[in-house]
Structure formats: structure tokens, C-alpha cells
Chain A
Amino acid sequence: MPLSLTEESYLNGSLSQRPPCRPDGRDQLQFRPIDAAAGILPTTNGSARIRLDDGGECIVGVKAEVITVSGSSDDVHVEVDCDIVGIPANSPMQNLLCSTLETALKNSLPSDLLRITNKYRFKIFVDGIILDHVSHPLTLFSMTTYLALLDTRLPRLAPDSLGEQDNDKDEIGIPQFSSDWADSDRLCKSWSPPLVQHGIIVGKNVFVDATGEEAEVSDGGLLTIWHNGRVVGLRVVNTRDSSKQVFSINIIGNAVEVLANASREIEKGLKGIRTS
């Protein structure tokens, strides 16, 4: 149900105060409680589910497939797909979610993590479904993907698969994997996945984990891509269907800092979750 003009103006007013006042009394950087679990889909290489307090729910499964490449290309092969229940396929929202995550992953994932031989690579498929959402689903999807990737394991080569003395093993050898799943390697042994954070701007204030109403009265939204302890990417997004969404350029520096702090906290929280 859309907000009435009075409601909208009241909410906007209280959010733009300094210090602001959120309807549920939260701090600017405070998340609502989430319920997260990893390793819920046994047939995937890694998986996770996160449920939000407002009923939003997302499940992500990560699959690793062996592909052949020609030449010794350094491309990172990642494909991200996400269904959002209630929104038709190929909607702008879906494209935003998939392309943001895919780009973030491709830019941050070192190619040698997925290299098997000169000819063989792992390709990572991230498949998500957002079962329900009230607020902007990107943070939810990113967090779930982050957790699923933490949970992801890649099969290890069998000990005798590629003999040491084979001069041309990288040219012709076909990899053989150990049949023991316990023998697999964590994808995130030496790498942390990127985390995308969605924030809204109201006046001079920045908020994370905005509720639907908060987003509706905001002046605009901002996405930051957090990787290895710093923000590596930025994107401005609309938060409602209005061409009037404008915010001051001066706010961006502050906003990035706020979202970075939020990302750091979230990353800490997600890393504490037990993975399989």
C-alpha cells in the first residue's frame, strides 16, 4: 500500500534529522536480525539460506563444473543467475542482481583458484532464488551468495591423476578427481568473496538495511562492492519510480564510509557461521 503524502513527508522528515530517527528505532548501521545457515543443499558444492526478519528469504547454491578452454586464457568463468519470486524473468531488478554479483565475482576471483590444468578450468555457477522480499533484495542475495561461497568446496585431483614426470600433462592430460568428498578444497581458503551493500540516502544521512517504507521516501540508493577490506566499486540505483531522485555529491564520501563499516561488520558475522 503506497504511503500517503503526509506519511511520506513525516517519514522523510524524521530520517533526514541529525541524528535521524528510524521508525523501528534502529541505528543507521544497524541490521535487523537475520537467520542464516550454510550447507543446506547436499548436491551442490556449497549452499546457504538467509531469512530476514521481514519475511525476506533467499537460497543460493554454488556448483563447480569442469570445462575446457583453448589456449592458456586467464578468464574467470563465473555465471550468476537468480530467480525472484513474483518478478518476471529478465526484469531490470533481476539483471541488476545478476550482473552486479557476476562482475564483482569476476573482478575479485583470482583465475588460478579455478585452474586445473592448462586446458581444464572450473566454472562456477551461482544459482539463487529469492523466495520473498520486502526491502531491496540485493544485500540479501549478496550475503547469501557470500555465505554459499564460503561453504563451497572444489573436488581435489586424485593423487595419481597427473603424474609429475609427464612432460606434456598440461597439454593432453584429462583430470581425474578423488572420489572422497572429504578430500575437497575450500574455495575460500585464501580468498574472500566480494560483498555488495545497498544503502539509501535521505538528506545527509545514510542507512543500511532499509525497510520498504524507508526506501520509498529516500533520495536515492547506493551500492558498494566490498572486497578484501575496502570498497572496490560503486553504483547508484533508484529506490522508487521517480525521476526526482537526486542527492548531493558531497554525501557520497560519507556514504561509502558508512557502507564500508556495515560491510565489515556483516563479513565478520557471516564468517562466524558454521559451514559444512
Chain B
Amino acid sequence: MASVKRAYNEDLSKRLTLSQKIFVRSRKGKATKIVQEHYLRTDIPCSSQLCPTCALNPPKDSSGTSRPFVLSSDPPSVKSWGPHYLVPDTNIYMKAMDLLEHFAAFYDVIVLQTALDELRNLSLPLYNRLRALTRSQEKRFYVFHNEFRQETFVQRLEGETINDQNDRAIRNACVWYSVHLQEAVAGTGRSAPTILLLSEDKDNIRKSKELGIACATLETYVKELPQADTLLDMIVVEGDEDASGPNRYSYAEYYSTSRIQGGVKEGLLHQGILNINQYNFLEGSVPVAGFERPLLILGRESINRAMHGDVVVIEVLPREQWKQPSTKIVEEETVSKNDNPEDDAQENVVTAQERRVLIEAARQAQHSSAEFRVQPTAKVVGIVKRNWRSYVGHIDASSVPADAANARRQSSVFLIPMNKCIPKIRLRTRQAINLLGKRVLAAVDSWEPTSRYPEGHFVRTLGDIESKDAETEALLLEYDVQYHQFTQTVLDCLPKEGHNWRVPADSSDPLWKGRQDLRELLVCSIDPPGCQDIDDALHARVLPNGNFEVGVHIADVSHFVKPDTAMDNEAASRGTTVYLVDKRIDMLPVLLGTDLCSLKPYVERFAFSAIWEMTPEAEIVNTSFTKSVIRSKEAFSYEQAQLRIDDKSINDDLTQGMRILLKLSKILKQKRMDAGALNLASPEVKVQTESETSDPMEVGVKQLYETNSLVEEFMLLANISVAAKIYDSFPQSAMLRRHAPPPATNFEVLADQLRVCKAMTLRCDSSRALADSLDECVDPDEPYLNTLIRIMATRCMLAAEYFCSGTMTYSEFSHYGLASPIYTHWTSPIRRYADVVAHRQLAAAITYETLHPSLRDKPKLQRICQNINQRHRNAQFAGRASIEYYVGQALKSREIDAEGYVMKVFSNGFIVFVPQFGVEGPIHLRDIGNPEPPCNFDEERYTLIFHKDTDKETRLQMFDRVVVRVETVVEESTGKRKVALRLRKPLV
């Protein structure tokens, strides 16, 4: 049977021509031939506001709207070319994305589809950045789909390479645009803007000139712009220069992609994320599936140009090269090339079979605890994914050549990143002198095998080193915190009434539907002092039957933040609010966070309530959840609440309620501890700042009240109850949080240290055993020791993580630290996105509303979890870094003696932890005496023996108490003001 396809619209079919594109997709060793067909159109607009023709009949999308025209009728002008639209070639996007993003130049840009597609194949991150630019309206970037328009489509010629075809397509589009704009302005008396092709490809430029297209290289164009020097520095460099230079260096080439993929598949090579040891930049480790312990990567040669966080492929080295992990503190600054042990080992030809035997031996070696000190090592043979981002650092003054002051001369300098795990980056800049003493943001471009250091380019300066703004921005950038202002589209999602928004007075209002009126309950909130974003409030009262009714009321954020809106996407991407010492980077716009959602006292607010009926023994009789309206009676700080509870003379109902809460919370806590919950510790200090200038004044250890634990217990209870409920309703897509039990090997070193130094045992077969043995680690003479051990044990644990219930089995849900079989986050929706998701799921579970489809979408939830896990971690790091900075500032120009504890012993120094300031830092032997005192390092006993003043012998062991002089210095390697410790005397 024959069928004839007839276009229903004669007119349309006349305008459409078919074009075909054939290519091969090569994945997992397969080769698939792909054929793409598309219709060529004549109605794709030029998007210039000068053009009346295209504006007549612009293509419409499914909702019947057409996009506004992007390119300005009055584009920027330079001397040589006058007003112009830019058409960058693909190589410009590769080299100058930072430039294109710069506010000072590059407006009215025509992004050709050909170049965009090419860019996507070359670099996905750059492609995404360009896409973001095309979406932002202020830069006026327009994507012209030249391959879909009949006039600009080019057919591949016989024998023509794809590159040549693409170049021709770009030239063709330029010609079309020039002619098209000439026609557009004809008769108006205006002159059409020049179409200026930017390219670095000499051949393309030559051919363009033959066609009469205006074209320029990046450099010639940028030189016409104001601020040319700054802009030129931002161009990506190609790492070829020092190939012939005196400091020629040679790393091993990476294995070919096919060999890497094959090797990983066969189990001969291993893939994982590289972590660089923060105390020793020449030591890295890669946790790899199938090995109990991470594999060690030692030395520059073995690390082979991989950087902290990169996904690498590694190969196990021969047994002779297995080593103990380093016992030295090594900083990049102090290592000269001679100290760096070159791996001279013969590159043997190893067969696959031999390699399998070796890998098995490596596994054995890790397993046998007797020789757990000699560990298998490996080398990096390939990089699957670079984790390169922009790095903050400062210019190494010694690397700036003497004649750098000579303006406009480009010189190579080193940028020393703040993060010690990142190697120095070579930059080429014309402004070396101006950059000294500044915080500088730079991007890494490449790392060729012939270059000892990676090549990068300057992005911008953040300000002077140690200035508060520069340092704050630096740490936000370092931890990838999104701190830009909320965009207008996000703000448009807020209620129009702004701060005047009120809970509708009339309870027949649709907003009241499904809400319980709990305004009469005696609800109060307890938070840290000065807290503005109040997520939670509590109440308790006695029921007629002698039981208690306890309620946890959480800000109803999901009422204001609806799924799949701009605000929701922004919050999902930020993931969490980040708290710095003097600053808060909000997840939600401030109107919601500190006002409309915040459960402020004396005003009516929407809330989501969890209400339990409990026996006096804190047994739960009944649990219910409801959307509600509450009116908080009071907002307490922890201290105020504690005082009020303790004050016997106050006996009003609110205070009585708080006393009930306190009593129940103590029972709940005991139950949790009995179940094996861990009582862990982290060094928490608080920095008091002067309220106006927010200059740091005082550093102190955070004080904890019983009320802290009161709030915590009920939040845990609420989270556990909600977790069970949403898992029950949505077994595949519930947003939960888990804490995996740490592998026993994580505790090996700590347990051994305790056994050797303190004759204490640490058992870690279950969280209960660990909790109990931690309780027993008490030394009557050292009251702080127990806390210290808890801090160290915490560091051996894995991080808790969010996950989507469908991706794990029930037994994997359990939360190790809390000893709860299931857990989620529900109580802080203002500052955590996971809680927003949990709110929506709970609302659907109690049939308050229907579940938005995106909350059933498992892959999407997985992506959200991945992102918020990352953001959550970074927020913690940023918060700690901020405290560290302020501690440094508070102690500036002061010298204090304080007690500290030895936390780690190396053969050339040790790490001391000072609880008073929550800081830890290295003490090098070389700083104790000059010349460096002779020493004896007893690794088995974690003891360093040295002679301080020629005669007296000093022995320092793990956990020893010492007195140290705390002062601050600006660390040369990172430019950070850091706490520096000097040994005063050991207290043994």
C-alpha cells in the first residue's frame, strides 16, 4: 500500500526545505549512526530592532507569543568599525568567556547556532555560561539559528571537513546579516551597523576578508575598548610557552580515553575523586569502590596534574613503591624541587594478568591490620572530569619581575590560591604591580604535560587582602555560595502586599481552607539571640486525661513558595541559607524569611503544625499534622527561656507549658541515648562583633543551655514523625536524610592512638558500642580529654546526606548519629530547601493539597538531593572559614597564652587544638629552636622526642596538654591572617 504525505498547508510547505545531518555517536565502544533531519525556514528573525521586515511576521511559540527583538538599534561603537554587532567564532567563546561576561564591553552579540553547537561539544561548562548570557537581557546576546534558515544554511561540500563547513557557515551568516541589515535600513537614511566577525583563526579571517566581511582578532578588537589592559588579562592562555623554557617539566601523558574506559570496566584501573591532604599538598588519596581504604597518591609525578576534587582514573603502582602515608607537614612554599622525590621507577610493561594479581595484593595489604601502615599507592593516569572553577588567591610577590612596572608589558606571575590543596597557578598579566596585596579571582585554563604549574587567567580583583569585604567575598566564592541579589523574576513571585501581607481576618477566606485555628494556643519560640528568621515555635499543655499535648509549629513556607516557580528554582539552587559571622546569605528573599514566614511574636502567621499526645513518660499516644494559623506569644532567646523556666516566681500558663516541654525533652533525650544515639562534639566558638562596624571584639566558646536541648529534642521528634509519614505516603519519592554507619577502618587510627597513649579502648561495632566506649574515655586529670576525643571521633564519621527514598532500601535509611531508623529535615523550611520539599510532601500526605508532579519525579529529586548535599557542606565550610577569619581578626596584635592539646604528631612537628578559640594549627620543630632541634619520632607510640634547649629532653605524645602562645600572622602561602601557635611549655 502506498501512502502519500501531503502538507496540509501549501504555503508552509513551500517555505520548508529538508536538510539532513549525519554523524556517528560513539559511546561505550558502540558506534551508532545518527541522522538528523530538519526543515529550513525563511522566517527566523534577525532580531535587530532596526529591521522592519523580520518584525512583521515573527515566528510564534505554542502559546502564540513571539520573542521581543534583542539587538539594539543603537549598538556600541568603536573607532575602527563604528557601531557594530559582534559575531564571535567558536574559538572566541573558548578563550574569552570571562570577557564576554564583563559588564564593560561586549554588548549586542549575535551567537550563531553553529558556534553554539561547536562550543557544546568542546566544553559543557562554557556552553552553560554562554546560555546564561543569552538569557540575561542586559547583555543583548541573540542566538541566531543560522542552520535552520534557508539562506544561511550551508551544505557540506565533497571532501570538506566539518570545521571548514562550520567556518563557512559562520562567514555565510555574516554576509547574510550585512546584506539583510543594509536592506532593512534602506531608505531610512540611517546606516546599518557593521557586522564584525571576531575570530582567532587566521584562515577564517583571510577568507572573510576576501568576502568583504569586517573581521578582527580578539586582541585587535579589545585594544579599541576602554579598560583594554584589564580585559586583555582575562583572555584564556594556551599553555605552550615554557615548553622550551629553562624550567621545562615533563609529566606523563594521560592514557587514551579508550584505554581508560576499558581499564575501568575491566577493574584494572580505578575511578574516584582526588582529595589532597591539607597538611601535605604532595599527598593525595582517592576513595575507590572495592578497596577498604582510599588509595594513596604520593608525589607530584603520581598526582600528575590532577587537582583537588577532580574525578581521576588511577592505576595501582608496583609493590616496591607502596609507602606509608607521610608523617610530615609539607607546604608547597617550603618544598623546592630538590626535596621532591622523583619517581625513577622503571616503567615496566605489565600485563593485565599481572596487574590483577597486584590489585588483589593491594586489597590484601589494606585488609591485614598488622601492616596497615604500609599502604598501596597509585598514580593518576587520566582525568575523567576536571573540577576546575575560579580560585581566589593572591599574587606571589617574589614571582613579579622587577620590570613589571613597565606598563602594558605582559609578565607571568604566580597566583597562590587560598585553598592549600590547589597548586600555584601561573597567570599572565599586564597589571602585576597593581595586583600585589589584593585578593584576586583567577580561572584555570589548562595544564600541559610540559608545564610544572597550571596556566590560568585573571578574572577580577576582590579588594585588599584582609579587608572585610574582600575576605568575605573570597570565602563565598571559594565555597561556591550564590550570593548575588535575587533577580526580578524571583521577586515577582512574592505576595504583592509586601510587608503589609496579613493572615485574612475572615476565616471563610479560601486561604483558611483546611487550616486549623490554633491562635489561642500558648505558643512561643526559642532561638539564638537576635534571630530574625524564626522557623519553629512550640507549645505544651495538660489534657484532661492527664496526658500532655505538645505541638511543634513550623513556618508555612510552602504556602508562599509554590513548586516550579522562579523563586522555587532559585531556592532549590541555593539549597540553604549560609550564616557567616556578620552576614547571612538567604535562601529565600528577605521579605519571606524574616517577615511573612517568620513566626514572629504577637502576629498571626500561617504554620504547619505537628501535634502529639504524650503520656507523662513521653510515650506518644497520638500524632497528627495540620496546616494552621498561630499567634506566637513570645520569642525567647535560649538564655531568656532558661531564666524564665528557672525562675520559681513565674507561674503563668506559658511558663508552665515550657516546663512541661523541658521535662518531656529530658525523657526523650534519655530514650534516644539508650537507643544508642551519639553525643558528638564539634569545636564551636562564637565571635562577638561590634554591632555597628561588625568588627570582632571577643571570641568565646558557645554556651549551651538546657533549652538548647529542649528545642533540639522536639525538632528531632518532629522530623522523625514527618519522615515516617511521608515515607508511608510516598515510598518512592520521599525526601529523607540518612547517616550511614562509618566503616570500621575510619576509627582504626584513633582507636590505636587511644590504646597506645591512654590505654583506652574505642569500640565501634555499633553506634551504641561507640557511644558507650566514648563515655568511658574519661581521664580524671584531663577533664577536656573526653570532648577532644568526641571531636576527633566526629571527624571519623561520614557526612549525613539527603536522599530520595526510592534510591535506597529501607535498611539503608537509618541515621547512625541519631540512632533512628528514618529521618528527614522538616523544621527549618526558611533556611533549608529539603524542608520545603518535605513540607510539600507532608501537605500532600495529609491531603491538604495534591502532590505537585515534580515531587514524584525521582530523577529530579535525586538531582535536588545531590545539589543540596553539596550546598549544605559548602555552607558549613563557609561558616567555619568566616569564624576563622574573625578569630584571626579578633586576636590581631594580641598575644595570649592558652592551653591546647596535641591532636596529631608528625616527624617534624605536631598539630595543637586550642579549645578556647576553637582553632587548631601546626607547630613546626623548626620554629622551636634555631637550628632545628634534633628529634626522634616514635611513630608506634605517637611520640616526638626533641631537645628544646640543648640539654633538656622534651617528649610530646598524642593528647598531651600544652601551653601555647596564640598570636596571629598573615600566612605567606595563602595571605590569610591565621592563628599561629608557639609552644610555651608542655604540661605532662
Over the window 23-43 of chain B, the binary record of Cβ atoms lying under 8 Å from chain A Cβ atoms (1 yes, 0 no) is 111101111010100000000
A44 (CB) vs chain B CBs: closest residue: B33
Q: Are B259 and A180 in contact (CB under 8 A)?
A: no
Determine the chain A residues whose CB is within 8 A of the CB of B25 once the complex forms: 179
Residue B22 is within 8 A (CB to CB) of chain A in the complex: yes
Q: Are A168 and B26 in contact (CB under 8 A)?
A: no
Q: Are B23 and A180 in contact (CB under 8 A)?
A: yes
Over the window 247-284 of chain B, the binary record of Cβ atoms lying under 8 Å from chain A Cβ atoms (1 yes, 0 no) is 00000000111110111011010000000000000000
Which residues of A are in contact with B by a Cβ distance under 8 Å?
42-45, 64-66, 68, 120, 155, 158, 160-163, 166-169, 171-184
Determine the chain A residues whose CB is within 8 A of the CB of B691 once the complex forms: none
11 residue pairs of the A-B complex, CB under 8 angstroms, read: A120-B29, A172-B265, A172-B268, A173-B256, A174-B28, A175-B31, A175-B258, A176-B26, A176-B257, A180-B24, A180-B161
Q: Are B256 and A166 in contact (CB under 8 A)?
A: yes
Determine the chain A residues whose CB is within 8 A of the CB of B132 once the complex forms: none
Q: Are A172 and B29 in contact (CB under 8 A)?
A: no
B261 (CB) vs chain A CBs: closest residue: A174
CB distance from B329 to the nearest CB of A (A): 38
Residue B351 is within 8 A (CB to CB) of chain A in the complex: yes
Q: Are A181 and B29 in contact (CB under 8 A)?
A: no
A180 (CB) vs chain B CBs: closest residue: B162
Contact pick for A173, options B33, B162, B262, CB 8 Å: B262
CB distance from A117 to the nearest CB of B (A): 9
Distance in angstroms between the alpha carbons of A56 and B33 in the assembled complex: 30
Query: Which of B29, B261, B266, B351 is packed against the most chain A CB atoms within 10 Å?
Result: B29
CB distance from B788 to the nearest CB of A (A): 48
Contact pick for B33, options A158, A166, A181, CB 8 Å: A181
Determine the chain A residues whose CB is within 8 A of the CB of B256 once the complex forms: 160-163, 166, 169, 173
Q: Are A163 and B26 in contact (CB under 8 A)?
A: no
Q: Are B266 and A167 in contact (CB under 8 A)?
A: no
Distance in angstroms between the alpha carbons of A184 and B156 in the assembled complex: 16
Determine the chain B residues whose CB is within 8 A of the CB of A180 once the complex forms: 23-24, 161-162
Q: Are A173 and B30 in contact (CB under 8 A)?
A: no
B161 (CB) vs chain A CBs: closest residue: A180
Q: Are A66 and B31 in contact (CB under 8 A)?
A: yes
Distance in angstroms between the alpha carbons of A167 and B268 in the assembled complex: 14
CB distance from B24 to the nearest CB of A (A): 5
**Closest CB pairs A-B (n = 9):** A172-B262, A177-B26, A173-B258, A163-B256, A174-B261, A174-B262, A177-B31, A155-B31, A174-B29
Q: Is the interface of B mostly helix, strand, loop or mixed?
A: mixed
A162 (CB) vs chain B CBs: closest residue: B258
Distance in angstroms between the alpha carbons of A272 and B162 in the assembled complex: 29
Q: Are A181 and B24 in contact (CB under 8 A)?
A: yes
Query: Which of B25, B33, B263, B352 is packed against the most chain A CB atoms within 10 Å?
Result: B33
Residue B508 is within 8 A (CB to CB) of chain A in the complex: no
CB distance from A187 to the nearest CB of B (A): 14
Residue B20 is within 8 A (CB to CB) of chain A in the complex: yes
Query: Which of B156, B263, B265, B268 is packed against the most chain A CB atoms within 10 Å?
Result: B263
Q: Are A181 and B23 in contact (CB under 8 A)?
A: yes
Contact pick for B30, options A45, A65, A183, CB 8 Å: A65
Q: Are B30 and A66 in contact (CB under 8 A)?
A: yes
Contact pick for B259, options A68, A163, A178, CB 8 Å: A163
Distance in angstroms between the alpha carbons of A66 and B262 in the assembled complex: 14
Distance in angstroms between the alpha carbons of A176 and B266 in the assembled complex: 17
CB distance from A127 to the nearest CB of B (A): 15
Contact pick for B156, options A44, A45, A162, A182, CB 8 Å: A182
Q: Assess A179 versus B259: contact at CB under 8 Å? Given A43-B33, A174-B265.
A: no
Distance in angstroms between the alpha carbons of A160 and B258 in the assembled complex: 9
Residue B988 is within 8 A (CB to CB) of chain A in the complex: no
Q: Assess A66 versus B29: contact at CB under 8 Å? Given A42-B20, A167-B349.
A: yes
For residues 431 through 459 of chain B, which have their beta carbon under 8 Å from a beta carbon of chain A? none
Determine the chain A residues whose CB is within 8 A of the CB of B351 once the complex forms: 168, 171
Distance in angstroms between the alpha carbons of A120 and B30 in the assembled complex: 10
Beyond A43-B33, A169-B256, 15 additional contacts (C-beta under 8 Å) are: A42-B35, A155-B31, A155-B33, A163-B255, A171-B266, A172-B352, A174-B258, A174-B265, A175-B31, A176-B257, A178-B24, A179-B25, A181-B33, A182-B156, A183-B24
A43 (CB) vs chain B CBs: closest residue: B35
A178 (CB) vs chain B CBs: closest residue: B24
Determine the chain B residues whose CB is within 8 A of the CB of A169 once the complex forms: 256, 258-259
Distance in angstroms between the alpha carbons of A65 and B29 in the assembled complex: 10
Q: Assess A175 versus B156: contact at CB under 8 Å? Given A161-B257, A162-B258.
A: no
Distance in angstroms between the alpha carbons of A254 and B346 in the assembled complex: 70
Query: Which of B25, B28, B257, B263 is packed against the most chain A CB atoms within 10 Å?
Result: B257
Determine the chain A residues whose CB is within 8 A of the CB of B156 once the complex forms: 182
Q: Are A172 and B24 in contact (CB under 8 A)?
A: no
Q: Assess A171 versus B352: contact at CB under 8 Å? Given A42-B35, A161-B257, A163-B256.
A: yes
Distance in angstroms between the alpha carbons of A120 and B161 in the assembled complex: 28
Distance in angstroms between the alpha carbons of A163 and B256 in the assembled complex: 6
Q: Are B29 and A179 in contact (CB under 8 A)?
A: no
Q: Are A177 and B24 in contact (CB under 8 A)?
A: yes
Determine the chain B residues whose CB is within 8 A of the CB of A177 once the complex forms: 24, 26, 31
Q: Assess A45 versus B28: contact at CB under 8 Å? Given A166-B259, A168-B352.
A: no
A65 (CB) vs chain B CBs: closest residue: B30
Distance in angstroms between the alpha carbons of A45 and B33 in the assembled complex: 7
A122 (CB) vs chain B CBs: closest residue: B31
Distance in angstroms between the alpha carbons of A167 and B352 in the assembled complex: 10
Distance in angstroms between the alpha carbons of A155 and B33 in the assembled complex: 8
Distance in angstroms between the alpha carbons of A162 and B349 in the assembled complex: 17
Distance in angstroms between the alpha carbons of A86 and B892 in the assembled complex: 94
Distance in angstroms between the alpha carbons of A140 and B379 in the assembled complex: 60
Determine the chain B residues whose CB is within 8 A of the CB of A182 once the complex forms: 156, 162
Determine the chain A residues whose CB is within 8 A of the CB of B35 once the complex forms: 42-43
B159 (CB) vs chain A CBs: closest residue: A182
For residues 476 through 501 of chain B, which have their beta carbon under 8 Å from a beta carbon of chain A? none
Q: Assess A184 versus B24: contact at CB under 8 Å? Given A155-B31, A172-B263, A174-B265.
A: yes
CB distance from B379 to the nearest CB of A (A): 16
For residues 28 through 65 of chain B, which have their beta carbon under 8 Å from a beta carbon of chain A? 28-31, 33, 35
CB distance from A115 to the nearest CB of B (A): 14
Distance in angstroms between the alpha carbons of A66 and B24 in the assembled complex: 13
CB distance from B902 to the nearest CB of A (A): 47
A156 (CB) vs chain B CBs: closest residue: B24
Distance in angstroms between the alpha carbons of A178 and B256 in the assembled complex: 14
Q: Assess A179 versus B262: contact at CB under 8 Å? Given A45-B33, A161-B257, A173-B256.
A: no
Determine the chain A residues whose CB is within 8 A of the CB of B265 once the complex forms: 172, 174
Determine the chain B residues whose CB is within 8 A of the CB of A158 once the complex forms: 26
CB distance from B374 to the nearest CB of A (A): 27
For residues 714 through 735 of chain B, which have their beta carbon under 8 Å from a beta carbon of chain A? none
Distance in angstroms between the alpha carbons of A259 and B754 in the assembled complex: 92
Query: Which of B24, B162, B261 is packed against the most chain A CB atoms within 10 Å?
Result: B24
Determine the chain B residues whose CB is within 8 A of the CB of A163 once the complex forms: 255-256, 259
Distance in angstroms between the alpha carbons of A179 and B33 in the assembled complex: 9
Q: Assess A176 versus B352: contact at CB under 8 Å? Given A66-B30, A181-B23, A182-B156.
A: no
Q: Assess A172 versus B259: contact at CB under 8 Å? Given A43-B35, A167-B349, A181-B33.
A: yes
CB distance from A140 to the nearest CB of B (A): 20
A64 (CB) vs chain B CBs: closest residue: B31
A45 (CB) vs chain B CBs: closest residue: B33
Distance in angstroms between the alpha carbons of A161 and B161 in the assembled complex: 19
CB distance from A57 to the nearest CB of B (A): 12
Determine the chain A residues whose CB is within 8 A of the CB of B30 once the complex forms: 65-66
Determine the chain A residues whose CB is within 8 A of the CB of B161 once the complex forms: 180
Determine the chain A residues whose CB is within 8 A of the CB of B261 once the complex forms: 173-174
Q: Are B24 and A155 in contact (CB under 8 A)?
A: yes
CB distance from A132 to the nearest CB of B (A): 12
Distance in angstroms between the alpha carbons of A160 and B256 in the assembled complex: 7
Determine the chain B residues whose CB is within 8 A of the CB of A174 once the complex forms: 28-29, 257-259, 261-262, 265
Distance in angstroms between the alpha carbons of A43 and B24 in the assembled complex: 10
Determine the chain A residues whose CB is within 8 A of the CB of B257 once the complex forms: 160-161, 174, 176
Over the window 1-30 of chain B, the binary record of Cβ atoms lying under 8 Å from chain A Cβ atoms (1 yes, 0 no) is 000000000000000000010111110111
